[in-house]
Amino acid sequence: MNRKVDVLVDLQFGSTGKGALAGYLSGVKGHDVAVSCNMPNAGHTAYSHVNGQKFVHKVLPSGIFSENLRVIGVGPGAVFSIDRLVEEWAAVKSYLNSINHYYDVVLLVHEACGILLPEHKEAEQKTLSRISSTMQGSAEALVSKIRREVGATAGYRAMEIHERLNQHGPARIVSQREWLESMDSADLILAEGSQGYSLSISAGFYPFCTSRDCTPARVVADCSLPMGWVNAVYGSCRVHPIRVGNTPDGYSGDWYPDQKEIHFSDLGVAAETTTVTGRVRRIATFSVMQIREAMTMAMPTAVFLNFANYDPEEADRVAGEINQAAESIGCGGVLLKGFGPTSWDIKEA
């Protein structure tokens, strides 16, 4: 059996630095295929280790820095605006061409991807501010796809998408059969999830959650990959978890019983803002309850503990808590720590 898929997931409420981890893993492990199943309610930031260029992706995967890279894929569970997809592909191809190595990388977009339209975002802005949603239209676009509405998926817009993408580099809208054939020919695939376990629609924080589950099983399914191919699961978390900031008329949800909300000023650092909404994030103390539950669902091969630079002493304590949980659950513990926003800020624990 081909054990060739590395899955990357978030073990908290999102914004743990999955983009940086994806960039790091792609450079270290040399994946030849990187796939994502993102929706517009999450953004991921990564920096090239070659020239430091910054990439903020809502559609494409962040693990694009492998010297072996030959395919970038957008799986059928994704939702995107065509303009955003084209914008990101143009930037990635410009970068790849500039370093004179990745000239033959191709972008594959699954025909079942959902298409985000302006009316999807408008609908959510009318109804979801009460739960401090990002209100980007993700759920509405997914509903359109579930209803089998004409124009709801990439397959309906294949000619337009193909023409616009190929102005920047080779790209194809592919069927399920073509997708699986391409994935089957890969040596090592990096499958990237978005948001975090505790934002899962089934994780206990409903309605203050996202529109799907955020587990390895869901990521693999949304990238249309066989579960039997999974080689490793990387779980990303923070020393101090965050939640998206509240809207003026809404609330983004509670914390776990064993944690309390604090302020960035308590840590002596500048307040963080979210990639998508620009709101100031909420931040809290570490929750053992949360990490045990998330690790039980994810069974990570290894854990990445990020933002250790905010409080190195607390990071050491939290790493110990995670390793104790990992031992009792029977999964991997802390392998890597992050001390800043880039891949080169990631160190072995």
For residue 206, give every residue at least 6 positions away whose Cβ sits within 8 Å of its Cβ, in sequence order, or none: none
Using CB atoms within 10 A of its CB, is residue 334 exposed (0-12), middle (13-18) or buried (19+)?
buried
Q: Indicate the range of 139-148, 220-229, 296-305 predicted with least confidence.
A: 139-148
Residue percentage of the chain with pLDDT more than 70? 96
Pairwise CA distance, residues 52 & 59, whole Å: 20
Q: Indicate the range of 216-220, 279-283, 285-289 predicted with least confidence.
A: 279-283
What pLDDT is recorded for position 120?
Answer: 82
User: What are the tens digits of pLDDT across the range 70-92?
Assistant: 999 999 999 999 999 999 999 99
What pLDDT is recorded for position 322?
Answer: 98
Three-state secondary structure of 102-123: CCCCEEEEECCCEECCHHHHHH
What pLDDT is recorded for position 4?
Answer: 97
Task: Give mean pLDDT, residues 61-69.
Answer: 95
Q: Within a 10 A sphere around the Cβ of 270, how many other Cβ atoms?
A: 8
pLDDT reading at 17 higher than 90: yes
Supply the mean pLDDT for the chain.
93
Residue 104 banded pLDDT, cuts 50, 70, 90? confident
Q: Indicate the range of 41-50, 154-163, 200-209 predicted with least confidence.
A: 41-50
Residue percentage of the chain with pLDDT more than 90? 83
pLDDT reading at 41 higher than 80: no
Task: Give mean pLDDT, residues 284-288.
Answer: 98
How does DSSP assign 179-232, residue by residue? Answer: HHHHHHT-S-EEEE--S-GGGSTTSS-TTSS-SS--SHHHHHHHTT--GGGEEE
Query: Nearest to residue 214, comparing CAs of 20, 35, 37?
Result: 37
Task: Give mean pLDDT, residues 30-58.
Answer: 92
pTM of the model: 0.94
What pLDDT is recorded for position 49?
Answer: 86
Pairwise CA distance, residues 293 & 150, whole Å: 40
How far is residue 217 CA from its own chain's centroid? Answer: 14
User: What are the tens digits of pLDDT across the range 114-161?
Assistant: 999 888 878 767 776 676 556 787 888 888 999 999 999 999 999 999
Q: Would you state the structure tokens that stand for residue 195, as one six-digit string?
A: 């948001």
What pLDDT is recorded for position 237?
Answer: 98
Task: Give mean pLDDT, residues 183-187.
Answer: 97
**Annotated active-site positions, please?**
15
Q: Indicate the range of 188-192, 243-247, 272-276, 280-284 predicted with least confidence.
A: 272-276
Task: Give the pairing type, strands 54-57 and 44-47.
Answer: antiparallel
Strand partners, 242: 283
Pairwise CA distance, residues 28 & 8, whole Å: 14
246: DSSP letter: P
